[in-house]
Amino acid sequence: MIESYPLRQIIDDEGNLIDSNNRDLINRELVQKAYFNMYRIRTFDKKAKSLQRQGRIGTYPPFEGQEAAQVGSALALGENDWIFPTYRDHGAMLTYGADMTRTFLYWNGRMEGCVPPEGKHIFPAAVPIATQLLHAVGASWAEKRKGTNAIAIAYFGDGATSEGDFHEGLNFASVFQTPTIFFNQNNGYAISVPFERQTNSKTIAQKGVAYDIPSVRVDGNDFFAVYFEMQKAVKRARTGGGPSLIEAVTWRTGAHTTADDPTKYRPEGLGEDVVDPLVRLERFMKNAEYWDEAFITTTHVEVEEEVEAAVKAMEDYPAPRVEDLFDYVFAELPEQLKKQKASYLQLLGGQ
Amino acid sequence: MTTEYTKLDTATKSLTLIQAINEGMETVLEQDPSTLILGEDVGKNGGVFRATDGLQEKFGEDRVIDTPLSESGIIGTSVGLAVNGFKPIAEIQFMGFIYPAYDQIMTHVSRIRMRTMGRYSVPMVIRAPFGAGVRAPEIHSDSAESLFTHMPGIKVVCPATPVDAKGLLIAAVNDPDPVLYMEPMHSYRAFREEVPVESYTVEIGKGKIRKEGEDVTLITWGAMVPIVEKVARQADAKGISCEVIDLRTLYPIDQEIISESVQKTGRAVIIHEAPGTGGLGNDVVSIINDTSFLYLKAPTERVTGFDVPVPFFSLEKHYLPTPERIFKSIEKVTNF
């Protein structure tokens, strides 16, 4: 089966173009967008880990190593599309337009972190596994019913493919031919359980066959491969071709979250041969004469300023209102909640 | 225009409960083009109980949608549809089959408004026939209301009569929040009532006094309502005047109707099909405790299903609260 799903690549680990015919697909604007966004989310991720260690935010699930997959997929989307991410996809969310201050706020236990900018369809990160695939099917089904050409993308990991909702999502999408992209980041581990124990299938892409959903297996650390395969899936969805499944094979460099230690469950040395996606892009930029010191310096300065400003804004953010505990459960507070709220606020006021 | 039922003076039709549900859905499909019906066998077959009979014919396959056999799929896709402008009425064929969708309801349907501070909401109605007494196969007779009344962020309604069935269905569809709409299977075709032809709502969160009385308050819902009313009339004949409250909404519960009645009678018996431990009856006891403790002349009694899985139907009459058990509790609170 694995032969039927060769890993699609555009550049190799050394940053060389594999097929020179693809040279014209790539231009300076795309390369710089890729670099900017990958560097940006890498910097965010590093900062988040550091803040967690200092006790300035809560538990955090790093996405380091998955930047090409997240940026490559998010950049292929259009303005009016919907994204349904997981808790490890804040890189994709930031690339698609989520606010960085609010993203830090999310990891600092604040509901404000789930509120997307006005007009941006960014669903809050799914914490249960695979549930969001069905939401993406529903939201894109709604777009199809409205007659727009907007689509939805669901992000999920390798572990999610063992859940019932993965299969129910693919099945619904196929039956109703919804414009949905199922974007899998196979990062090798679901917390401590390796891919080989998650499924006896050699690939995730092959799971599309059962649902008659076109699927591909792509090198998830190759920005261009992800981006171009996403473009094909996006086009298919927008033009009435229905859903697609993309398996982006990548590697979770770090822990599942800041609360676990991967040396406990990952054999020593495993993954050491994986070339960091950002390094790979840098090599390509140098090889293909896209390297521009001025651009790199500007990007670094700009991103570092943005991240520092977002951290400051997160830490200066007004404290949560106790009322927020009650006010958003229903459109209008039921009597018993009104009473609970009033009595608790009175108690607090009396202190 | 949709008016409150109490303000109606209009033409009526004699309908069973299930016909009234069908009419309610027909009304909202006509009124609101964003409404959709999704479920297993709801289209061509018109539902296994015929709740959606004729609706696909009238509104098309695009609005009355036969889905794959996939409860989590029905609710999960309804979340996406609801967040993007549609109002799904999702049918779960039997409440005993809602469990695969429980994750979607618990972790998403009930929380999206709060998680996003109101940016996203998922107005939807989840219909589910429930309850025992119809000699159904295993798992088809569960009463799982307390799994949902315990779940913050979703409303739970349970009509007992055709008039309430139509009015609550329309109110549930119009509600900005998700509503679980529980249908007492045993009452689907048990009796008829004159139901207004036009559109109307029955307010969510309001119970109803089915019968007035002075000595004991009987509190119940769903298919137990007609049974409790009958016991109440028999008790009257024996000199114990019983008031019957049909809660109609199980969350948010109507605390006032309970406290006003119990403060008048001083005695209460709560009757429900679901097992007693963790059952909604305990919340009613708490409401009585909080609001009316000093009015009580006797400890409140509960007559409920036993703490066992709903049995095979050969034993279901022993599982369900029987008139004998209900009457014994009425006597117990009266003679305390």
Query: Are β-strands A193-194 and A189-190 bridged in parallel, bridged antiparallel, or unpaired?
Result: antiparallel
Which of A131, A171, A334 is the closest to B252 by Cβ?
A334
- Residue A170 and residue A215: Cα distance in Å, rounded? 11
Q: Pseudo-torsion of CA B213, B214, B220, B221, nearest 10°? A: 30
Provide the β-strand partners of residue B211: B244
Sheet with A152-157, edge to edge strand ranges? A121-122, A82-84, A152-157, A180-186, A244-249, A215-219
For chain A, 351 residues long, give each residue's pLDDT as a single digit of tens: 789 999 999 999 999 999 999 999 999 999 999 999 999 999 999 999 999 999 999 999 999 999 999 999 999 999 999 999 999 999 999 999 999 999 999 999 999 999 999 999 999 999 999 999 999 999 999 999 999 999 999 999 999 999 999 999 999 999 999 999 999 999 999 999 999 999 999 999 999 999 999 999 999 999 999 999 999 999 999 999 999 999 999 999 999 999 999 999 999 999 999 999 999 999 999 999 999 999 999 999 999 999 999 999 999 999 999 999 999 999 999 999 999 999 999 999 975
Mean pLDDT score across all residues of chain B:
97
- Catalytic one of B140, B186, B272, B318: B140
Single out the residue of A246, A251, A168 nearest to residue A211, CA to CA.
A168
Judge contact between A308 and A36, C-beta under 8 A. Answer: no
Q: Is A205 in a helix, a strand, or coil?
A: helix
Q: Which of A56, A265, A317, A344 is catalytic?
A: A265
The residues, any chain, with a CB within 8 Å of residue A27's CB and separated by 6 or more, are none
- Residue A196 and residue A204 in contact, taking contact as beta carbons nearer than 8 Å: no
Sort B192 into a burial class: Cβ within 10 Å, 0-12 / 13-18 / 19+: middle
Closest approach of B54 to chain A, Cα-based (Å): 22
CB contact under 8 A, A115 and B114: no
3-state percent breakdown (helix, strand, coil) of chain A, nearest 5: 50, 10, 40
Give the HSE-up count for residue B243: Cα atoms under 13 Å, Cβ half-sphere: 23
- What the block records as the tokens of A164 is 């019932």
Q: How far apart are CA B186 and CA B129, in angstroms?
A: 9
pTM higher than 0.95 for the full model?
A: yes
Where do the domains of chain A lie? 2-320, 322-351
Based on the number of CB atoms within 10 Å of its own CB, is B13 exposed (0-12), middle (13-18) or buried (19 or more)?
Answer: middle
Say which DSSP state B108 is in. I
> pLDDT, tens digit, for every residue of B11-24?
999 999 999 999 99
Three-state DSSP class for A8?
strand
The structure tokens listed for A90 are: 């804040």
Is it true that the peptide bond before A243 is cis, omega within 30 degrees of 0? no
Q: Which ipTM score applies to this complex?
A: 0.96
B103 vs A141: CB contact, 8 Å cut-off? no
Mean pLDDT over B187-211 rounds to 97
Name every chain B residue with its beta carbon within 8 A of the beta carbon of A126: 108
Q: How many CB atoms lie within 10 A of CB B198?
A: 12
Q: Write down all domains in chain B, each with its CATH number in brackets.
A: 3-201 (3.40.50.970), 208-334 (3.40.50.920)
- The beta strands (E) that lie in chain B are given as 3-4, 12-16, 35-39, 64-66, 87-91, 125-130, 155-157, 179-184, 192-196, 200-201, 208-211, 216-220, 242-246, 249-251, 268-275, 301-305
Asked if the Cβ–Cβ distance from B255 to A135 is below 8 Å, we say: no
Task: Give, in degrees to the nearest 5, the angle at Cα A234 between A231 and A237.
Answer: 150
- The pLDDT-based confidence of B2 (bands split at 50, 70, 90) is low
Percentage of chain B beyond pLDDT 70 is: 99
Q: Which of residues 63-82 of B touch A (CB under 8 A)?
A: 67-68, 70, 72-73, 75-82
The answer to whether the beta carbons of residues B226 and B160 sit under 8 Å apart is yes
Which residue among A141, A145, A328 sits closest to B118, beta carbon to beta carbon?
A328
Token readout for B27 is 């009304």
Question: What is the band of B7 on the pLDDT scale with cuts at 50, 70, 90?
Answer: low
Q: What residue spans of B197-238 are helical by DSSP H?
A: 224-237
Contact A200, A207 (CB under 8 A): no
| Contacts by residues A328-333 (CB-CB < 8 Å, ≥ 24 positions apart) | A328/A111, A328/B113, A328/B114, A328/B116, A328/B117, A328/B118, A329/B113, A329/B114, A329/B152, A329/B153, A330/B113, A330/B153, A330/B155, A330/B176, A330/B177, A331/B113, A331/B118, A331/B121, A331/B176, A331/B177, A332/B176
CB–CB contact B77 A128 (8 Å): no
Whose CA is closest to A132, among A190, A179, A66, A84? A84
Rounded distance between C-alpha atoms, residue B213 and residue A92, angstroms:
63
A6 HSE (CA, 13 A, CB side): 3
The string over B281-312, giving b where at least 16 C-beta atoms fall within 10 Å of a residue's C-beta and e elsewhere, is: bebbbebbeebbeeebeeebbbbbbeeeebbe
Q: Is A252 a catalytic residue?
A: yes
The DSSP letter of residue B310 is P
In DSSP notation, B234-281 reads HHHHTT--EEEEE--EEES--HHHHHHHHHHHS-EEEEEEEESTT-HH
8 Å CB contact of A135 and B79: yes
pLDDT (0 to 100) of residue B3: 72
B299 contacts chain A (CB < 8 A): no
* CA dist., res. A179 & res. B5, Å (int): 42
Cβ atoms of residues B220 and B194 within 8 Å:
no
Query: Residues A286, A292, A293, A295: is their CA dihedral positive or negative?
Result: negative
CB atoms B77 and A337 under 8 Å: no
Is the domain spanning A2-320 CATH 3.40.50.970? The answer is: yes
Position A336 scores a pLDDT of 93
Q: How many C-beta atoms surround the C-beta of residue A46 within 10 A?
A: 13
For residues A144 and B173, what is the distance between their CA atoms, to the nearest angstrom?
A: 23
Q: Is the pLDDT of residue B315 over 70?
A: yes
**Known catalytic residue: A56?**
no
At B208 the three-state DSSP class reads strand
pLDDT at B4: 74
